[in-house]
């Protein structure tokens, strides 16, 4: 499925799950249409003196629960449809874990690996100049996403403050600690995924030390969830990045591979003792081959739409944790569910990032910083509570975990929509007159 179709696939899930869950038509209608979408051309002076033009997007999807929240990604395949789908999922995600946010998303169509650090800074500042009246600490709060990081968020915050002549640390989350960022934000998405994975394992009565895990996408989130699961005794038998992956039944030392990736920019099968790293026995595999490995837990942690009707029959893992946004297309998911695969959906599994972004926003607004232990404890409280609520809905109503998560989110959004008055309310008012 192309990125142009991903938004329609996301809407189809909303229609189907909403109807099945008995959600009021007004709530479904609310979620079928983005509230606002801004597309801008970003001129950037390159190091050679030329000017290149990039296309940037920002979607504020829904504001019924609060200001919108969502990351900004830099990727050569970013499209408006993709940004809208991601903003919709963020709307649902915030409602699933009970945050006072609506969903948003942003992106720039660019290959960031081709830009120098100075060009990357100019692009980031150009993006904020284009979006300066579209974002704000009480309107829409960006954060890091694919190929963006804390430093880029710092540039964006600085540009916003220069334009508006205010001090506004709450306009951006995922910032460097020195600029008002929160401890624990960098690990948050991976730690949140780890927490829900451990809840799933506990409720299924599984032994962590007997489980084999494959992680597609050794970015920040993929690294932290793999590292934490390995600390619980699981074998991380496969890892990959955009170039391909590695596989070994004996498992890998995740920290060694991450250390090597930071220096060589490649996923290499190594074991490091202090500063000395040596290759370990392994197989080179493709990202497609990783999805089909005979493992207990599969963690797609790269981009959306990687499990499709064309390759779903190759997937053998009985448990899938969606750390990426939308990695399983709806047609493929129906095949997996019929097979009995348990899928922890993205709107729950990767909600740790936005949760700690919320914590950062709260700290910025109060002017008081929390300790790392406080952040981790509060994240654990939010994620385990949300998992328990979704699990209970799934059990009570005989739903998949995704259907239960969506139903839970739709009902929260529905309560807010209903508080403004529904069709039934206004019809009753006319009848009483």
For residue 1, pLDDT over 60 is answered with: no
Q: Which domain holds residue 50?
A: 31-179
- pLDDT for residue 410: 94
- pLDDT for residue 3: 53
Residues contacting 217, CB < 8 A, separation 6+: 240, 241, 300, 301, 302, 303, 323, 324
Does residue 100 form part of some domain?
Answer: yes
Across the range 88-103, mean pLDDT stands at 97
Same domain, 302 and 158: no
Residue-wise DSSP of 64-86: SSSSEEEEEEEETT--HHHHHHH
- pLDDT for residue 20: 87
Q: Alpha-carbon distance 26 to 254, whole Å?
A: 47
**What strands lie across the sheet with 212-216, from one edge to the other?**
283-285, 244-247, 235-241, 212-216, 297-300, 319-321, 342-344
Does residue 1 form part of some domain?
Answer: no
Distance, C-alpha 234 to centroid of its chain: 23
Instruction: Give phi and psi for 287, each to the nearest 5.
Output: -65, -35
- pLDDT for residue 173: 97
Lowest-pLDDT choice from 95-104, 169-178, 255-264, 424-433: 424-433
Q: Alpha-carbon distance 368 to 40, whole Å?
A: 36
- pLDDT for residue 275: 64
Domain CATH for 195: 3.40.50.720
Same domain, 148 and 209: no
pLDDT tens per residue across span 283-328: 999 999 999 999 999 999 998 899 999 999 999 999 999 999 999 9
Across the range 117-143, mean pLDDT stands at 98
% of residues, the chain, pLDDT over 90 = 81
- pLDDT for residue 421: 72
Active-site option among 35, 69, 93, 105 = 105
Same domain, 116 and 201: no
Same domain, 215 and 342: yes
Please give the tally of structural domains in the chain: 2
Distances (CA, A) of 182 to 104, 141, 188: 20, 15, 10
Q: Which three-class secondary structure state does DSSP give residue 281?
A: coil
Residue-wise DSSP of 100-118: S-EEEEEEEE--GGGS-HH
Same domain, 106 and 61: yes
Q: Alpha-carbon distance 296 to 212, whole Å?
A: 5
- pLDDT for residue 24: 86
Count of positions (residues) in the chain: 433
Same domain, 201 and 164: no
Host H or E run for residue 57: strand 51-60
Across the range 150-158, mean pLDDT stands at 97
- pLDDT for residue 274: 64
Does residue 37 form part of some domain?
Answer: yes
Does residue 238 form part of some domain?
Answer: yes
Q: Which three-class secondary structure state does DSSP give residue 58?
A: strand
Across the range 341-364, mean pLDDT stands at 97
Same domain, 37 and 131: yes
Across the range 153-175, mean pLDDT stands at 97
- pLDDT for residue 26: 87
- Rounded (10°) CA dihedral 86, 410, 398, 337: -20
Place of tokens 């729950």: 348
Distance, C-alpha 195 to centroid of its chain: 15
- pLDDT for residue 402: 96
Which of these three, 123, 155, 179, is where a domain ends? 179
Does residue 393 form part of some domain?
Answer: no
Residues 247-282 as b or e (16 or more Cβ within 10 Å = b): bbeeebbbebbbebbeeeeebbbbeeeeeebeebeb
Same domain, 168 and 196: no
- pLDDT for residue 260: 83
Same domain, 37 and 94: yes
- pLDDT for residue 110: 97
- pLDDT for residue 185: 94
Lowest-pLDDT choice from 61-75, 185-199, 264-278: 264-278
Which of these three, 139, 158, 179, is where a domain ends? 179
Does residue 365 form part of some domain?
Answer: no
Across the range 387-402, mean pLDDT stands at 96
Widest CA span in the chain: 82
| Mean of pLDDT over the chain | 93
More confident residue, 270 or 287: 287
Q: Alpha-carbon distance 194 to 383, whole Å?
A: 10
pLDDT tens per residue across span 178-200: 999 999 999 999 999 999 999 99
Question: How does residue 155 score in pLDDT terms, banded at 50, 70 and 90?
Answer: very high
For residue 97, pLDDT over 70 is answered with: yes
Active site residue 105: yes
For residue 429, pLDDT over 70 is answered with: no
Across the range 162-179, mean pLDDT stands at 96
Q: Are β-strands 68-75 and 140-144 bridged in parallel, bridged antiparallel, or unpaired? A: parallel
Same domain, 250 and 287: yes
Domain CATH for 51: 3.40.50.10860
- pLDDT for residue 273: 73
Q: The pTM is what?
A: 0.91
Question: What is the tally of helices (H) and strands (E) in the chain?
Answer: 15, 14
Which of these three, 179, 207, 236, is where a domain ends? 179
Same domain, 42 and 112: yes
Same domain, 150 and 214: no
For residue 230, pLDDT over 80 is answered with: yes
Question: How does residue 431 score in pLDDT terms, banded at 50, 70 and 90?
Answer: low
Distances (CA, A) of 150 to 69, 177, 228: 16, 9, 22
């Amino acid at each position: 499925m192309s990125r142009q179709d991903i938004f329609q696939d996301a809407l189809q899930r909303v229609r189907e799950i909403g109807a099945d869950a008995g959600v009021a038509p007004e709530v479904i209608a609310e979620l079928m249409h983005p509230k606002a979408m801004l597309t801008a051309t970003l001129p950037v002076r390159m190091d050679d003196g030329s000017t290149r033009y990039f296309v940037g997007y920002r979607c504020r999807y829904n504001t019924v629960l609060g200001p919108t929240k969502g990351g900004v990604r830099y990727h050569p395949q970013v499209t408006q449809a993709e940004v809208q789908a991601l903003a919709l999922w963020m709307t649902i995600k915030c409602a699933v874990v009970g945050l006072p946010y609506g969903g948003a998303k942003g992106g720039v169509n660019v290959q960031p690996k081709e830009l120098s650090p100075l060009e990357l800074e100019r692009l980031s500042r150009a993006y904020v100049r284009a979006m300066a009246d579209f974002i704000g600490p009480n309107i829409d709060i960006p954060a890091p996403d694919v190929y963006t990081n804390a430093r880029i968020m710092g540039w964006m915050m600085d540009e916003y403050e220069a334009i508006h002549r205010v001090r506004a640390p709450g306009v951006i989350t995922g910032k460097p600690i020195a600029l008002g960022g929160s401890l624990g934000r960098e690990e948050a998405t991976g730690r949140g995924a780890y927490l829900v994975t451990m809840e799933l394992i506990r409720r299924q009565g599984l032994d962590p030390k007997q489980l084999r895990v494959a992680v597609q996408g050794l970015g920040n989130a993929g690294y932290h969830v793999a590292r934490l699961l390995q600390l619980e005794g699981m074998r991380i038998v496969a890892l990959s990045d955009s170039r391909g992956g590695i596989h070994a039944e004996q498992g890998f030392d995740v920290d060694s591979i991450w250390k090597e990736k930071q220096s060589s920019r490649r996923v290499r099968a190594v074991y490091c003792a202090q500063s000395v790293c040596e290759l370990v026995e392994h197989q080179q595999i493709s990202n497609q081959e990783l999805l089909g490995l005979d493992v207990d837990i599969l963690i797609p942690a790269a981009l959306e739409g990687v499990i499709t009707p064309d390759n779903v029959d190759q997937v053998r893992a009985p448990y899938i944790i969606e750390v990426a946004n939308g990695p399983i297309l709806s047609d493929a998911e129906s095949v997996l569910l019929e097979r009995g695969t348990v899928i922890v959906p993205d709107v729950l599994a990767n909600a740790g990032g936005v949760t700690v972004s919320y914590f950062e926003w709260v700290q910025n607004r109060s002017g008081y910083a929390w300790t790392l232990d406080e952040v981790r404890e509060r994240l654990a409280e939010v994620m385990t509570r949300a998992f328990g609520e979704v699990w209970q809905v799934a059990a009570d109503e005989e739903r998949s975990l995704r259907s239960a998560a969506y139903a839970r989110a739709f009902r929260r959004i529905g309560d807010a929509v209903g508080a403004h008055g529904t069709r039934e309310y206004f019809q009753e008012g006319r009848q009483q007159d």
